[in-house]
Amino acid sequence: MSFDGIFTYAMTKELKTALEGGRITKIYQPFQHELVLYVRAHGKNYKLLLSAHPSYARVHLTAETYDNPAEPPMFCMLLRKHLEGSIIESIRQIDFDRIIVIEAKGRNEIGDLSVKQLIVEIMGRHSNIILIDKETNTIIDSIKHLSPAVNRYRTVLPGYSYVAPPSHDKLNPLTVNEETVMKKVDFHAGKLAEQLVSAFAGISPLFANEAVFRAGLANRTTLPKSFVALIEDVRNDRFTPCIYDNGQKQWFYVLPLTHLDAEAKPFATLSEMLDRFYFGKAERDRVKQQAYDLERFVANEKAKNEKKLGKLNETLEEAKQAEQYRLWGELLTANLYAVKRGMTEIEVINYYDENGSTMTIPLDAQKSPSENAQSYFQKYQKAKNSIGIVQEQIMRTNEEIAYFDTLLQQLETAAPKDIEEIRDELTEQGYLRPRASKLKKQKPRAIELERYTASDGTEILVGKNNKQNDYLTNKLAQKDEIWLHTKDIPGSHVVIRSKNPSEQTLIEAAHLAAYFSKARHSSSVPVDYTRIRHVKKPSGAKPGFVIYENQQTIYVTPDEELVIKMKKTV
């Protein structure tokens, strides 16, 4: 757990510096377990993200933009009632645990001063956000309810007294010295890192493993020294926020982790680091939950068409034997006098072969000589007629496979707001039945495109699904603007809002096209670009499908850091 008590301690200090004395101006709840508080403090505007997500619980300032629901949830409305306009008087940590208390003073409905506490418990799947009245310690409400039937120790429901999660009587590491550490560790029992986690509050395995690693051959002298040295960095606010990446896994922490064999990327603040670390992670999780049925349907449809394609190819191979059937029929007709009912095969001279070779023709013993000949002529005619039909079916099936492959790619990079557009598209195309809620005629959703800004200020637009791609390419973009797409790879349509973009802007737009494609994890991805006037949508083509000409190709390796930078400048 990277967000341990030490990390919470550092984050609390960062939030105190930025937000204490600030006024809460707006509150939103963009997702089920996440809140965003807008705070005006020290002449600046801040966005504070509070998340009780089961997998991505956290607290930090954010620069990300979140789409809010048309109607705010009840918990959000309640927070607005009690906290909007309040002044943040203090931000503190409870008992060196992963609990942050934001204390805000405001006025209630009758104008009297009132102090509320917004408590954020960062406890993995047990994370919660709870609003309480400070004077009575009564829970007003929480983002997750916890009934007595679920937890005997404490109840988290409106009207109950707030009880903090159980402590485990561990020592506060900020108060210990080398002698205390030496007494708490049994050097003969082994598993020193686990012993440190069990003995001291707020210590995660990451911190404990780092202390053991720095101790070298850990003993009664080296381990207490390395542990206290790390704690001294915490006491003196010597924080170095970094994300560590070994190519397969990522970690983040507030202190240097020299025991990890991974590349370290430093950040100026903890909030900036968490914004980067969680970029897309929580969103992808939400998309997976919302689009699980959709993704499974599309994958199944693609698999069905791939199976169908295999059978069609087999049929085509059989159809290609048409000439063989015709030859057998003609040779049998010429040799009817030699064929007797009951024969299973006959060897005849092939008159069409200049060398006069012989050929063995299979026969149906139940048929007469003329019936056998007629059977081959019928097979010849059927095979000949089926070639054109099968080839057309193969072409259509390949188009279906390409279409569903594109949808799978779009689901991989979709934001929650894109899912409904993909679902609508499948309904319009007749693949899905309209859902009950869709039976009533609703106002069409406005199509919103992803907007990015190149380093020279040029706007670049990206379509994240077929509806957006069609709108961007066929309606919004002007004839001489530059259009980009990965070459022969499913991906997004990208348009540079310029007739003569710089080479750097062209490269940056190509990075976006490669990143929002099936090749986002590949290197040297080919990206075609041309002017919009050379991009056409064939009549009757699938949504998002276009053909283009006069293109040029450049090769780029998708750079997520560049994509984030371009997104944040909008």
Q: Which pLDDT band, with edges at 50, 70 and 90, does 438 fall under?
A: very low
Assigned domain for 513 exists? yes
When divided into structural domains, the chain yields a total of 4
Q: In terms of Cα–Cα distance, which of 300, 370, 312, 295 is closest to 338?
A: 370
| Same structural domain, 239 and 190 | yes
| Same structural domain, 269 and 325 | no
Which CATH number characterizes residue 10's domain? 2.30.310.10
| Same structural domain, 312 and 274 | no
| Same structural domain, 541 and 507 | yes
pTM above 0.85, yes or no: no
Whether residue 271 has pLDDT greater than 90: yes
pLDDT digits (tens, 9 = 90+) for 117-130: 999 999 988 999 99
Structure confidence at residue 103 (pLDDT): 97
pLDDT digits (tens, 9 = 90+) for 16-42: 999 999 999 999 999 889 999 999 999
| Same structural domain, 397 and 495 | no
Assigned domain for 445 exists? no
The residue behind tokens 């349907």 is 297
Cα 449–Cα 452–Cα 455 angle in degrees, nearest 5 = 165
Assigned domain for 42 exists? yes
Q: What is the mean pLDDT of residues 300-322?
A: 88
For residue 309, count CB atoms less than 10 angstroms from its CB and return exposed for 0-12, middle for 13-18, buried for 19 or more.
middle
| Same structural domain, 62 and 121 | yes
Kind and range of the H or E run holding 139: strand 138-142
Whether residue 280 has pLDDT greater than 80: no
Residue pair 375/364 in contact (Cβ under 8 Å)? The answer is yes
CA-to-CA distance for 27 and 452, rounded, in angstroms?
Answer: 26
Structure confidence at residue 493 (pLDDT): 97
The amino acid at 370: S
Q: Which pLDDT band, with edges at 50, 70 and 90, does 148 fall under?
A: confident
Assigned domain for 444 exists? no
Assigned domain for 425 exists? no
Report percent pLDDT > 90 for the chain: 64
Tokens of 481: 């603007």
| Domain region containing 403 | 291-413
Tally Cβ neighbours within 10 Å of residue 139: 22
Q: What is the mean pLDDT of residues 503-521?
A: 94
Tokens of 91: 């931000």
Structure confidence at residue 444 (pLDDT): 62
Which letter, b or e, does each residue of 44-82 get, where b requires 16 or more Cβ atoms within 10 Å of its Cβ? Answer: eebbbbbbbbeebbbbbbbeeeeeeeeebbebbebbbeb
Residue pair 23/85 in contact (Cβ under 8 Å)? The answer is yes
Which CATH number characterizes residue 409's domain? 1.10.287
